[in-house]
Amino acid sequence: MPPKHNSSGHLGPVPLPPIFDDAQNDRTRTTGSATNRASSTTRRARSPAPVTTSSADASLAQSSDQFSPPPGGAGEKNDKVSWMSLPHKSQLAILTLARLSEPITQTSLQSYLYHQITSFEPNASRASIATHVGIVVAAFPATQAFTSVVWGMLADSPHIGRKRVLVIGLLGTAIGSVGYGLSLSWQTAMFWRGFSGVLNGNVGVMRTMISEIIKEKKYQSRAFLLMPMCFNIGTVIGPTLGGWLADPIKTYPSVFGPGGVFGGEQGVWWMQKWPYALPNFVSATFLVSAACWVIFGLDETLEARRDTPDWGRSMWQTVSRFLRRFWSRRKHHYTQIQLSEPEIPGYEHINDESSSRLKQKKHMITPGKLPLRRIWTSGVLINLLSRFLMSLTVGTFQTLWFTFLSAPRYDAAKDKPALPSEQSFFRFSGGLGLPPTQVGMAMAILGFFGITLQLTSYPAISARLGTTGAFRLLLPLFPVICVVIPFLALLPSDSPAPKPMDGLILWISLCLILALYVIARTFVLPASAILINNCSPHPSRLGSIHGVAQSIGASARFIGPVVGGAVFGAGDAMGVVGLAWWLLAGVGSVSWAVGMFVREGSGHEILMPGEKRTSEGEVVYMNEQESSEVNGRSEATSTTRQ
């Protein structure tokens, strides 16, 4: 395995702990002693592999039907892929942690948002509350839609890079979470949601980094599954956290209320003033912790910045080196262990190999960036349209779902003057009237189903159906689910209105509907991410493509909740609470139709000067001699034509 550079661009004599150093893990697994490592390194140094392609090119140059050959040779092509076989686990783990912190923050408010808006406007109508819920939800993706492309371009810039954009997004969202928790009006809450969206372009950056870390297509289905898996885990933790921590004085009066354990005579004053601050403070803690892991543990994946000094990684290496030596002295009764650079077996050979590779790289022609105007191929456009419609469906579903769960039930005694005197099969109103704790439980069911499905069934089924096959097969489930959901309000309940709906029939029906939704989402979202990744016409614009896709998706998630919340409120007032759901089913049907035209690309359809495609379909860099020959032939052809 090629030696790994440290953050300062030089080979470090002391390896990092296993959680952060995949190169060390690989060497430890494949060799049994320092002598073996030295001899192995010597053999590699004497016959260095030619540098043929950049890190991004290696994965994206393959056709949609083929896998990149694994390092071990063609004989490993059919090896079974498992979670344990994924390379670079430590880097994926840090990205997973960073991704997990965001859905926890975004989904925690879903369990209490309807009740929070009601506390801001106790005299407002149900239609007004539903509309304001949609606006607050949409504020984050609305601002994100305008900035995601910018963050994608900054992530592609050698002056900024992927890692800095990721850290800015995490810390910015943490600040926004604190501000949101201290809001006392829906307008202030909307502002802080928008503030978080302006600084957050992380989803596209994370997907780009995964594609650069995992370069072989045979691993991509599992690697790209990590993002939606984190979302499902977040939908378990977030709503549960929000439901149980929202308005703690009311939820736990004996603990935080007047006369409680921590309440004193008046109760915890800041919980009385800001009843929904606690879950947001906890979410901000998750985000700051994730940012620290990224700063100190994540490697930059942008090729142009890989040799740039990284103070975070350097600081971790210094601390790690100190802790290792301290622990080593304690373990060996304070016997000093010499670890000077020349005495490390094979170290001089690693330096020789590094110098050889660097010299060889100097003779390669490095292509420039693909002009932005050339990224708009037909494959990119159809994938972006599909992403917009799918995000519109999924984003609107999330808002309508927790609004429907929280909305008060239809009460004939109270609502009769404003609603039709008789409810019919299609003409009915009211939600389920669930409190925040039960809304959190209902939202968490989504995550439980999703995690189980992703760990058990998704890899095998996805491998059998293929990326586009799974995408097209499961898309039609969305409109079917949207048609059925409103009828939950008509099910028999163990408790009369206006109390929250309850009973075995309700929860069984709710779980069945959510199971279908999770099946669709689990297969469609990872497939969409892979399709977006592989439709990029050139690796130099991969970050920009993901930024555009995130901006498109954010636009849909902005439009959907605003329009969906307004239509839900209007339909409920008219006595047709299913109106918004049935219109969403129509959008889902259009998304299904567009999905039939989506094709998977190679990720490297356009060749820049200095690149060539081999007979196996791999794109490699030309050396100076090859480039001169190509230019000479081009000039000769031009002269002949004249």
DSSP state of 539: G
- The C-alpha angle 139, 143, 148, rounded to 5 degrees, equals 135
In three-state form (DSSP H/G/I as H, E/B as E, the rest C), the secondary structure along 578-629 is: CHHHHHHHHHHHHHHHHHCCCCCCCCCCCCCCCEEECCCCCEEECEHHHHHH
pLDDT of residue 609: 65
User: Assign residue 54 a region: left if phi > 0, alpha if psi is -120 to 50, beta otherwise?
Assistant: beta
Does 68 reside within a domain?
no
Number of CB atoms found within 10 A of residue 295's CB:
20
Exposure b/e, 622-642, CB count within 10 A at least 16 = b:
bbeeebeeeeeeeeeeeeeee
Does 295 reside within a domain?
yes
Under 8 Å between Cβ of 514 and 449: yes
Q: Alpha-carbon distance 337 to 94, whole Å? A: 32
Under 8 Å between Cβ of 595 and 475: yes
CA 114 to chain centre: 26
Under 8 Å between Cβ of 279 and 241: yes
Does 311 reside within a domain?
no
Does 604 reside within a domain?
no
Q: Alpha-carbon distance 404 to 388, whole Å? A: 24
Number of CB atoms found within 10 A of residue 45's CB:
20
In three-state form (DSSP H/G/I as H, E/B as E, the rest C), the secondary structure along 516-538 is: HHHHHHHHHHHHHHHHHHHCCCC
Tally of domains in the chain: 1
Per the structure block, which two tokens stand in for 449?
């189903």
Q: Alpha-carbon distance 391 to 388, whole Å? A: 5
104-138 pLDDT per residue, tens: 888 888 889 999 999 999 888 888 998 999 999 98
> Residue type for 590, please?
V
Low-confidence stretches of the chain (pLDDT < 70) are: 1-80, 83, 329-368, 412-425, 602-604, 606-642
Q: Alpha-carbon distance 5 to 2, whole Å? A: 10
Best CA proximity match to 604, nearest among 304, 377, 306, 360? 377
Per the structure block, which two tokens stand in for 507?
């929860």
Does 217 reside within a domain?
yes
pLDDT of residue 368: 65
pLDDT of residue 73: 37
Residues in the chain: 642
Does 403 reside within a domain?
yes
Please report, for the domain that includes residue 132, its CATH number: 1.20.1250.20
Whether omega for the bond prior to residue 498 falls within 30 degrees of 0, making it cis, is yes
Best CA proximity match to 228, nearest among 244, 200, 206, 247? 206
Q: Alpha-carbon distance 450 to 302, whole Å? A: 31
Under 8 Å between Cβ of 384 and 376: no
Q: Which residue has the tokens 């990149």?
A: 68
Helix, strand, coil shares of the chain, percent, nearest 5, are 70, 0, 30
611 sits in which H/E element = strand 611-613
Under 8 Å between Cβ of 198 and 291: no
> Residue type for 299, please?
D
310-359 pLDDT per residue, tens: 888 888 888 888 887 777 766 555 545 444 444 444 434 434 444 444 44
pLDDT of residue 2: 44
Best CA proximity match to 474, nearest among 228, 292, 261, 144? 228
619 sits in which H/E element = strand 619-621
pLDDT of residue 332: 53
Number of CB atoms found within 10 A of residue 46's CB:
11
Q: Is 419 helix (H, G, I), strand (E, B) or coil?
A: coil
Query: Residue 526: which domain range?
Result: 89-300+370-595
Under 8 Å between Cβ of 260 and 271: no
pLDDT of residue 628: 58
| Residue partners of 563: CB distance under 8 A and separation at least 6 | 134, 396
Q: Alpha-carbon distance 66 to 110, whole Å? A: 42
Q: Alpha-carbon distance 200 to 56, whole Å? A: 23
Per the structure block, which two tokens stand in for 337?
């262990």
- CA separation, residue 83 to residues 233, 456, 460, 461, 470 (Å): 17, 11, 12, 15, 20
Burial of 473 (C-beta count, 10 Å sphere; 0-12/13-18/19+):
middle
Number of CB atoms found within 10 A of residue 412's CB:
11
Number of CB atoms found within 10 A of residue 71's CB:
12
Q: Alpha-carbon distance 480 to 486, whole Å? A: 12
613 sits in which H/E element = strand 611-613
pLDDT of residue 642: 52
Q: Which residue has the tokens 């703690």?
A: 248
Exposure b/e, 374-384, CB count within 10 A at least 16 = b:
ebeeebbebbb
Best CA proximity match to 215, nearest among 70, 45, 82, 341? 70
Best CA proximity match to 628, nearest among 610, 614, 642? 610
Does 636 reside within a domain?
no
Does 267 reside within a domain?
yes
